[in-house]
Structure 1
Amino acid sequence: MDLIDFINRNYIEGIISDTSYNHFDMITYVIILFAGVYAVQKLLKKLRIKVDEEFVIATIPYIFMGSVFRVIEDSDLLKPPVKYFFITPLIFFVIFAICFGTLLLTRYLEKIRKIKNYIHTYAIAGVVLSLAGIAILIYYGSSNWNPGILVYSLVPAVILTEIVRRVSPAIGMTYLRSRMYSFAVFSFMLDSFTTYIGVDLFGYINKHPFSSFLTSIFGTGAVLIPLSLILVILIIVMLEKDSREDQDEKYMLTLTLIVLGFSMGARNLLAMAFGV
């Protein structure tokens, strides 16, 4: 197999056919993600854009927007070659372009005093774009609407997140009560619950090699729920311990954590809710 065949088989075919990830493309996409996070962190610092908890929370609507657009593609509402831009990894670049472009625009509008607070306008724009995508899904997919999925997935994810928030002071982890970390925990819980429900109860196929491996060993996707909870808390503990001198790094890595959990969890939730 030469290099061209290798790239076609492990990367290009996966995008065109929208098949399950393999070990090669999964590792590559993770590397691209973290390299991108590092580059964005440096760029934001150069542009003097403050990276804090408010910035992280304001960016969450764009993560949700990415999930909405991904489900629109899953619904076969887009045709080639446009649909390829809404499949991993190309969708990362599309959402980043929209997100970063909106951030720069709102900051400029604040600078010329057209708006009072760019970060609030930035967040609102993300919400509007997400709602526009939801409207498209409702219009074209309302016949397959399954609202029960929202209850089965969201309620237990919210309950577990709230338990973590309430218990955290007693175990010396009060920082887990912050909006940012609470949403990171919720993101991983949503991903694990939707994966369990989708694979075990609705017959969906898990496209991620590692979680598929764990599910096959234990015979159920339910194993992902406690493992995801432990994993996200351990990562947050490490972020708090190792990033005290570089707060920008802590916030950017937490945002990355939310991207990894919430993008997949929201996509799973929407796909099942709309019967995709």
Structure 2
Amino acid sequence: MNSFIDNIWEFIQNYYIDPIIFDTGYNPVNTITWAIFLGIFLFGVIKLFKRLNISVDDRFILSIIPFILAGSSLRVVEDAGIFNAPVNYLLITPIIYFLVFAIVILTLVVSKWLYNKEFIKDYHILVASIGSLWFIFNVSILLYFENVVNLYVPYFVIGAATLLVFIVYKILKYSGLDILSTNLNFAIMWAHLLDASSTIVGIDLLGYHEKHVVPSYLIELTNTATVMYPLKILIFIPVLYILDSYFNEDRESRNLKTFVKIVILILGLAPACRNTIRMTLGI
């Protein structure tokens, strides 16, 4: 019995705890596990928002984007070693995702309550303001402890991603596909091309390494991180097409589709922001 428990604990230690403590990245086991947890949380959030009567529209998405930037910059604070153990464990993925998620939900609940009590006129503005102030605070901390050493990084990341997303948009439109015609779809593609651009700079130019399982394998196979561009396009164009084609029948399906898209947006924008800030400061 003790041997069985020891084996289970060793499994948990190797695949879940050590990657967080030592920040060694992802493996196939914890990747699948976190994806399952993400799905469970997604359905829970949908139920909560329905109860709070929170509409998931463009204004809502814009209001939470500052929190994505705040969470990403907070991750860089951990990269910089400003916090020590065990506090820094809270700032390592995937725990930091749950931490930021909890803060966003708390902010939304309080803001919506203030709106319902007519203390404020627009809860979206309050949510966005809190997220923006948090982001500015994190960046201020980083600039206090660190110096800008690679100023070209944000210009390349933003410039390359913006150019490529417009090229993809034009090609799809010329082909008769309006997949990127909506603001959210366009933002998703742009966010993931930002992530790809930051990966290319980090790996091909600055000597960083990829922590995710599939990208790491493909980069090693092709010996260049530019493989991230076709990888992102070939994955997310079909995903967006499927979501838009099969999740429009009723309100709940549309809400689920929008939530899934928000998660996809976060999975692109969060690492792109973190990578860009980190490389700009040489962390």
TM-score category of the 2 structures, normalised to the smaller one: over 0.9
**Which of 259, 269, 278 pairs up with 1:262?**
269
The equivalent of 1:113 in structure 2 is 118
The equivalent of 1:272 in structure 2 is 279
**Which of 78, 81, 101 pairs up with 2:83?**
78
The equivalent of 1:136 in structure 2 is 141
TM-superposed deviation, 1:53: 2.5
Instruction: Report the more deviating stretch, 144-153 or 204-213.
Output: 144-153
The equivalent of 1:251 in structure 2 is 258
TM-superposed deviation, 1:179: 2.0
Question: How far apart, CA to CA, are the structure 2 residues paired with 1:153 and 1:60?
Answer: 18
TM-score (norm 1): 0.95
TM-superposed deviation, 1:41: 1.1
Contact 2:157 2:197 in 1 (8 A): yes
The equivalent of 2:246 in structure 1 is 242
SS, match of residue 177 in structure 1? coil
Indicate whether 1:159 and 2:166 are aligned: no
Question: How far apart, CA to CA, are the structure 2 residues paired with 1:171 and 1:127?
Answer: 39
Letter of the structure 1 residue corresponding to residue 30 of structure 2: D
Indicate whether 1:64 and 2:84 are aligned: no
Structure 1 stretches of 5 or more lacking a match? none
TM-superposed deviation, 1:183: 1.1
Letter of the structure 1 residue corresponding to residue 163 of structure 2: I
Identity %: 32
Contact 1:56 1:251 in 2 (8 A): no
Which of structure 1's runs of 4+ aligned residues deviate more than 6 A? none
Deviations 1:231-262 (A, max 9, x none): 11111111100111221011101101111111
**Which of 209, 223, 230 pairs up with 2:227?**
223
The equivalent of 2:203 in structure 1 is 199
TM-score (norm 2): 0.93
Deviations 1:13-72 (A, max 9, x none): 111111121111111112111221121112111221111222222221111111101010
Indicate whether 1:125 and 2:137 are aligned: no
Contact 2:165 2:189 in 1 (8 A): yes
Question: How far apart, CA to CA, are the structure 2 residues paired with 1:127 and 1:243?
Answer: 32
SS, match of residue 172 in structure 1? coil
Cα RMSD (Å) of the superposition? 1.5
TM-superposed deviation, 1:197: 1.4
Question: How far apart, CA to CA, are the structure 1 residues paired with 2:39 and 2:151?
Answer: 35
The equivalent of 1:172 in structure 2 is 176
Question: How far apart, CA to CA, are the structure 2 residues paired with 1:260 and 1:198?
Answer: 18
Indicate whether 1:9 and 2:14 are aligned: yes
Question: How far apart, CA to CA, are the structure 1 residues paired with 2:173 and 2:217?
Answer: 35
Distance 1:122 1:173, change over 3 A: farther
Structure 2 stretches of 5 or more lacking a match? 1-5
TM-superposed deviation, 1:167: 4.4
